[in-house]
Structure 1
Amino acid sequence: MPTLRRLEVFLEAAEDCNFRRTADRLDMSQAGLSNHILLLEKELGYPVFERRRGRSPELAPAGKALLEQARAALNAARVFRGKTAEQEGEGGKIRFDVTIRNYVLRHSIMPALPPFLDRHPNIDIEFDIVDKTTDIIARVGSGKSHFGVYRGHSPGSDSKIRSIVLGSSGTYLFASPELAQRARDGVPLDELPFMLPKKDTEMGTAIERTLAENGIVPKLVTARSQFPETLGEWVAEGRGISLLFMGHMQRYLSAGSVAVISPPIGHWNNILITSLEERSPHLQTMIAFFRDAFAASEQIGPTES
């Protein structure tokens, strides 16, 4: 069942049919609003908006039908409950706010979320999407979020934050079958075309450092993008090699449009930080959820030898 918060966001988005305008009005990121709608559509099993490239989203027929149902549900909640889900105690929903980067949410957490919420109907999770790890740490440290999830290093000592290492994720070199064959034929990797994150960004600096530590300094960088999804698409198109997490590339591996051409190059800790006390209700449940979600997203495909 959709949460009340997701129904609220849906009604606001339906009023504007402009995600950027709605996000500004609700004081949230556009990516955060889009993920609210995507989660709602996953829970319902059908699209509520029709999206076309270059055009504002429009309500789908099912979305129009949902409008009255959503309004009725929210009105009933106001009358009979008299308080929001995050204020409820025994017998009501417990809301957790999680700050996270978009690529981690989409590729590692979202696939595991619907079955988790089905198993734990008394838990509601709200995601706040940010661009930098420092922003995640700051929001948890200030008490604005219960949890922060990211890949990287544990924050420095802070009495307000507990840090838990959930495991580690490896990055791998991916290439199209044609470029993978050239690597097998003995062409040095640094002489093949590469695609990298944008320069002077947190991820761009980390990826280039990881490649250099493994003796790879690409001589030909054909493209850069801050979005792992875009880099993955370009790899599948044969435009170059890229260093990515397994979760970004599973669908291309399944389709045979890319190959893994290296063992793991670089290991990144999956970090959960929290401002909750150790004995807080549901803390261990949330830790287990995030650990299992990361583990499921790191199922390893075949590697080129």
Structure 2
Amino acid sequence: MINVSLRRLEVFLAIVDTGSFSRAAELLNIAQPSVSAHVRALEERLGGLVFERRRGGRPLLTELGRAVREHAREMLAEVDDMRADIINMRGGASDRLVISIQRGLANFALKDALTSFALTRPDQQLVVRVGKHEEVVHDLRESIANVGCVQVNEDIRGLSSRVIGAQKLKLIASPDHPLAKRRHIRPETVARYSFVGAPPSSVFGKSVARLLASIGIRDPNTAAQATEYQFLRELVVAGVGIACSTEASITPDVAAGKLVVLDVAAEDLFFEIRVLTAARRPLSPSMQDLIDHLAAAAPHP
């Protein structure tokens, strides 16, 4: 019997889905040598190569690797189902509903929707877990949460997602910033100034970087980083740099004159709001109710 650990299959699929050993290591938050070690151990167990390695090129699946890929996806999906069943049994009551939601959505765009859901359904125990994008995805994959909600413009490997809305993003600065009173600012002009934002290694930071690059703001100078909006806001207000934030989060500060929206001559930027659920697992009536409630309240610029 071939004894292959689930972790090695997870590492193998991460390489398949990301297209490289280094990106798989980043996705799984482990060192690249560890990724290589998992693959070597997997190949030793299977008695053959799962990837054709090419220096400087994308690893290609061998015939054996293609066969392993299909079985690995099925096995990991079955494990996800088992975890969910165990958590449901441990949880006891069937009226317990856990949502894991990205902090920006919980604090701004969907805050009122979550509150109204809890108030109008007294027989439904709603548990709200608030965290970073990576933490939301982890909660879904580990069956800690029934439903997830993030702001991102791409599908997420291994999870089902439904777009329920979108948030407009704005470039903001302090009222004293040199660009604050200018109109129709060219993106390349904006790129000359310092920025503050999320760590570039985070999913949110990478997503913002891609959006900025799409309008011509590439590789801006990062003066400071912050994982929490409130601290990022303080840095912008103090004049440390420009930031890219969702419209919902900045509206009160703009109205109070603490921040200004830069008038950039470029297309509007958006983040899709996505509801996440475990792949190949049916939605319960309470899960569907929550998803429909959030979809009805989500912003649509």
Alpha-carbon shift at residue 228 of structure 1 (Å): 2.2
Alignment of 1:219-298 (within 5 A): 220-261=221-262, 262=264, 265-275=268-278, 277-278=282-283, 280-295=284-299
Corresponding residue of 1:181:
180
Which deviates more from structure 2 when the two are superposed, residues 114-123 or residues 261-270? 261-270
Q: Cα 1:244–1:141, aligned 2, differ >3 Å: closer, same or farther? A: same
Structure 1's 201 and 273: CA in aligned 2 closer, same or farther, altered over 3 A? closer
The equivalent residue for 2:122 is: 121
Residue 183 of structure 1: SS of its match in structure 2? coil
The aligned runs of 1:1-305 (5 Å cut-off) are 87-88=92-93, 94-133=95-134, 135-152=135-152, 153-156=154-157, 158=158, 161-179=159-177, 180-184=179-183, 188-217=189-218, 220-261=221-262, 262=264, 265-275=268-278, 277-278=282-283, 280-295=284-299
Any idea what SS the aligned residue of 2:170 has?
Answer: strand
Tell me, yes or no, if the aligned pair for 1:232 and 1:248 is still in contact at 8 Å. Answer: no
C-alpha distance in 2, partners of 1:207/1:163?
20
Alpha-carbon distance, 1:96 to partner: 0.5
C-alpha distance in structure 1 between counterparts of 2:138 and 2:166, whole Å: 23
Contact 2:117–2:290 (8 Å) recurs in 1: no
Amino acid paired to 1:123:
Q
The separation in 1 between residues aligned to 2:207 and 2:289, in whole angstroms, is 31
In structure 2, how many angstroms separate the alpha carbons of the residues matched to 1:269 and 1:227?
20
Amino acid at match of 2:276: I
How many residues are aligned here?
205
What per-residue deviation string (whole Å, max 9, x for no partner) do you get for residues 221-255 of structure 1? 33221222222222233332111111221220221
- Unpaired segments ≥5 residues, structure 1: 1-83, 301-305
Q: TM-score, normalised by structure 1?
A: 0.57
After TM superposition, give the deviation of residue 272 of structure 1 in Å.
Answer: 0.7
Cα gap change, 1:216/1:88 in structure 2, threshold over 3 Å: closer, same or farther?
A: closer
Task: Summarize the Cα distance change of 1:139–1:194 in structure 2 as closer, same or farther, 3 Å threshold.
Answer: closer
Normalised by the size of structure 2, how large is the TM-score?
0.58
Distance 1:214 1:268 in 2: 14
For 2:237 and 2:182, the matched residues in 1 are separated by: 16
Give the aligned partner of residue 50 of structure 1. none
Contact 1:191–1:218 at 8 Å: present in 2 too? no
Contact 1:193/1:218 (<8 A) preserved? no
Cα separation, partners in 2 of 1:198 and 1:114, compared to 1, 3 Å: same
Give the 3 Å change call, closer, same or farther, for CA 274–220 of structure 1 in structure 2: closer
Q: 1:186 to 1:293 in 2, by over 3 A?
A: closer
Partner amino acid for 1:250? T
1:71 corresponds in structure 2 to none
2:296 and 2:267 mapped to 1: Cα distance?
20
Distance 1:289 1:233, change over 3 A: farther
* SS in structure 2 at match of 1:184: coil
Contact 1:229 1:248 in 2 (8 A): no
Q: What displacement does 1:147 show?
A: 0.6
Matched residue type, 1:287: I
Identity of aligned residues (%): 19
RMSD of aligned Cα (Å): 3.0
